[in-house]
Structure 1
Amino acid sequence: MKLPRRKGTATSVEIEPPEVVASGPGASKGRPTPKRRTASVPPPPAPRTRKEAMAWQKQQGAKAKVAGQKKLSPAEYKQALKTGDPRVLPRRDQGPVRALARDYVDSRRMASNYLLLLFPLMLIGYVIRPLQIITLALFALLLAEWMLAGSRIRKLALERGMQTKESAISLGFYAGSRAYFRRSWRRPMPAVEPGDKI
């Protein structure tokens, strides 16, 4: 608000309006209202090319890293994955219940251990009609084994006080997907030997 000029004065004085303090429940914010240009910042434009998308993804990954955590070299990463270091495990392998499922599979002999050897027979079974019944029977046997393993793993987890929302089916498929690999191919590496008590 400007005051009218008086004769003989060359300057004008601007008086700041008094700060209005609203009364009532929850009326005061305790901070100034932001300017319109800072109140809403538009999101960055979407990447147009694959190269831009990869650069954006790399940048987001760098931001998500925990401060002070050193980057692992490829050899260190491979070793950490072998030993089951939680920092590098994929999401599907994380958690105590999944670790119990891995130990369960690694400490037992299962029919699924021979699944890779049965693949050629299954492929031939699709071509030769009489072998189709054998192929379907093998698949049914493996699925039954996976369901049984899943229910046993879930029961063991609950007995040991592990909280889990996973069903016996999901745990069974996880166990089966590990069981058909050779022991030397499994990641993380087996922590128990066949016959060990878990």
Structure 2
Amino acid sequence: MFNRSKTEAPSAPASDANEAARQQAEEIASGKGRATPSRKEREAANRRPLVPADRKAARVADRDRLRTERERQQAGLAAGDERYLPARDKGPQKKFARDFVDARWSVGEFLVPIVVVLLLVTFLPFPSDIKNQVSSYVLIVVWGFFLLTVIDCLVMGAMMARRLRAKFGAAERGVKWYASMRAIQLRPLRMPKPQVKRGQLPS
């Protein structure tokens, strides 16, 4: 009995070595190819300094990164890139509406400049009797131009809705209002920037 136990005792280290070799072989076969890091090693890898060594350089780098990100977003928005568009501008029908508006001349895009000019006219030093007449005429012209803008937007909306139904099956809710709001903006100030030329209506 004593001789049997003495001969079996050294087999424990050998079995441990075989078990370790088997685990390592399994890790390599599974694609891991390296030993599992210890808890201390993982904590050291995840540890980050709370305060950078060079605060000024870190601020400059962060400011440059934010500026680059803003410039990329602005460029994407101006180009009509869907990734950078706000929710109100996203979608194929909104893209169609923008191109439809930008391809035509709209009465509304001249509304703001004309109103500003007419209001400036009322501040000119006219005699009191003429000034009242000028103010009345200016008011009539402003309201007349506003009425023309509304009519133009309604006609444009009807034409665009017909094309949207032919292309997409149905016009998206709010797309006509979206197009009207773009139509009363000056072309250079529209955002996203116009992607088509005058007369280049979308198909």
Q: What is the TM-score when the length of structure 1 is the normalising length?
A: 0.55
Of structures 1 and 2, the one scoring higher in RCO (CA 8 A, sep 6+) is 2
| Structure 1 segment 1-198 matched on structure 2, within 5 A | 73-121=69-117, 123=119, 128-166=135-173, 170-198=174-202
Give the Å deviation of 1:174: 2.0
Aligned-pair identity in percent equals: 26
> How far, CA to CA, are the matches of 2:84 and 2:178 in structure 1?
18
Aligned twin of 1:36 = none
Aligned twin of 1:41 = none
Query: Structure 2 vs 1, CA of residues 193 and 165 (structure 1 numbering), >3 Å: closer, same or farther?
Result: closer
Letter in 2 for 1:105: V
Query: Structure 2 vs 1, CA of residues 129 and 183 (structure 1 numbering), >3 Å: closer, same or farther?
Result: closer
Note the residue ranges of structure 1 that are not aligned, 5 or more in a row: 1-71
> How far, CA to CA, are the matches of 2:138 and 2:115 in structure 1?
13
> How far, CA to CA, are the matches of 2:141 and 2:111 in structure 1?
14
Give the Å deviation of 1:92: 1.6
Query: Structure 2 vs 1, CA of residues 105 and 89 (structure 1 numbering), >3 Å: closer, same or farther?
Result: same
The structure with more radius of gyration:
2
> How far, CA to CA, are the matches of 2:170 and 2:91 in structure 1?
10
Deviation readout 1:82-130 (Å, 9 max, x if unpaired) = 1111122122211111111100111111212212211224546998223
Which deviates further from its counterpart, 171-180 or 152-161? 171-180
Q: What is the TM-score when the length of structure 2 is the normalising length?
A: 0.54
Give the Å deviation of 1:192: 0.7
Letter in 2 for 1:140: L
Instruction: Give 1 or 2: higher helix fraction.
Output: 2
Query: Structure 2 vs 1, CA of residues 140 and 125 (structure 1 numbering), >3 Å: closer, same or farther?
Result: farther
> How far, CA to CA, are the matches of 1:95 and 1:120 in structure 2?
34
Contact 2:111/2:145 (CA < 8 Å) preserved in 1?
no
Give the Å deviation of 1:146: 0.8
Aligned twin of 2:10 = none
> How far, CA to CA, are the matches of 1:196 and 1:113 in structure 2?
18
SS where residue 84 of structure 2 aligns?
A: coil
Would you say how many aligned residue pairs link Structure 1 and Structure 2?
A: 124
Give the Å deviation of 1:185: 2.0
> How far, CA to CA, are the matches of 2:176 and 2:148 in structure 1?
13
Contact 1:82/1:188 (CA < 8 Å) preserved in 2?
yes
> How far, CA to CA, are the matches of 2:120 and 2:150 in structure 1?
20
Letter in 2 for 1:110: S
Give the Å deviation of 1:178: 1.6
